[in-house]
Amino acid sequence: MIDDRDRRILDMLQENAGVSVTDLAEQVALSVSACSRRIQRLEETGHIARRIVVLDRELMGVPTTLFALVKTAHHSDEWTESFRRAISDIPEIVEAHRLTGNYDYILKIVLPRVEHYDVIYKRIVRRIELFDVSASISMELMKSGTSIPVGYAS
């Protein structure tokens, strides 16, 4: 069970995982050792899955975002696992979701430029049979973030 202090710690760590324990402790009115123990407990319970660094996509040379909507005629566990393997080692595919509705999967792909999508597309279709792929280019980033709401956690 987590409390409001834990939620505040989680919020602050989501904003900046590199914040010092001293600063965190001060913000949540705890001693440094008590704050450190809470962080350790939150890691042990899985509330903190991992700590990461978010890179600047412009500076990293992949400013373009494309969403590929995928339809397949196959829905077996074997095909799904083959699809998972086919996309898993393509670093430009940063997210993949199985969907309800008209499409089966959506892939979020980051690219140096739109034309590079053809390289990624060919890598995918060489590895696995797809029924249809429809791509949409992101024209403007309206909202982005890695933080999730902490108010629902128990």
- Its CATH architecture, for the domain 4-44, is Orthogonal Bundle (1.10)
What is the model's pLDDT at position 154? Answer: 84
Domain 58-137 has CATH 3.30.70.920: yes
Please tell me the predicted confidence (pLDDT) of residue 103. 97
- Evaluate whether 4-44 and 58-137 have a shared fold: no
DSSP of 86-103: HHHT-TTEEEEEE-SSS-
Output the pLDDT for position 6. 97
* Residue burial 58-89, b: 16+ Cβ < 10 Å; e: rest: eeeebebbbebbbebeeeeeeeeeebeebbee
Assessment of whether the complete model's pTM goes beyond 0.85 = yes
Of 40, 31, 102, which Cα lies nearest the Cα of 71? 102
Chunked into runs of 10 residues, the chain (154 residues) has average pLDDT values of: 95 95 96 97 96 94 98 95 96 97 97 97 96 97 93 90
Domains in the chain: boundaries: 4-44, 58-137
Site of tokens 């982005």? 144
